């Protein structure tokens, strides 16, 4: 057991426990990641995953459960776009924005 304090009953860290230290090693060792990649290849690799994810029943699972966890939690970005240009966004982009909890309405309210 480590010298780090436990968590509170609600799951938050107790005072003095800041969680994982900056620069610490990945939680999943490289050999486990390699094993997962080997299994993916045995199951058909990229082509099999593409076929599975192309099924409308699986697409949401692909984006929300497989891709989203791999994305950074935060990032800095700037967009040089005005509200008038939002009316020209493709319907698919607006649908994805709505799925992410953003306002996808075309009335300019974001």
Residue 59 in tokens? 């697409």
Q: What pLDDT does 107 receive?
A: 43
The backbone torsions φ and ψ at residue 17, rounded to the nearest 5 degrees and listed phi first, read -110, 105
The whole-angstrom separation of Cα 85 and Cα 89 is 7
The residues that bridge with 13 in the sheet, in sequence order, are 7
List, for residues 65-98, the tens digit of each pLDDT value. 988 888 888 877 777 777 667 677 777 777 777 7
List, for residues 6-48, the tens digit of each pLDDT value. 778 887 777 777 667 777 777 778 888 889 899 999 999 999 9
Q: What pLDDT does 5 receive?
A: 56
Contacts of 71 (CB under 8 A, 6+ apart): none
pTM over 0.85, yes/no: no
């Amino acid at each position: 057991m480590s010298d780090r304090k436990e968590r509170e009953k609600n799951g938050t860290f107790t005072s003095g426990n800041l969680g994982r230290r900056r620069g610490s090693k990945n939680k999943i060792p490289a050999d486990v990641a390699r094993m997962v990649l080997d299994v993916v290849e045995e199951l058909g690799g990229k082509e099999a995953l593409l076929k599975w994810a192309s099924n409308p029943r699986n697409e949401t699972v692909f984006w929300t459960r497989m891709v989203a966890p791999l994305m950074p939690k935060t990032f800095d970005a700037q967009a040089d776009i005005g509200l008038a240009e939002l009316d020209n966004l493709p319907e698919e982009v607006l649908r994805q924005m709505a799925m992410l909890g953003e306002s996808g309405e075309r009335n300019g309210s974001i």
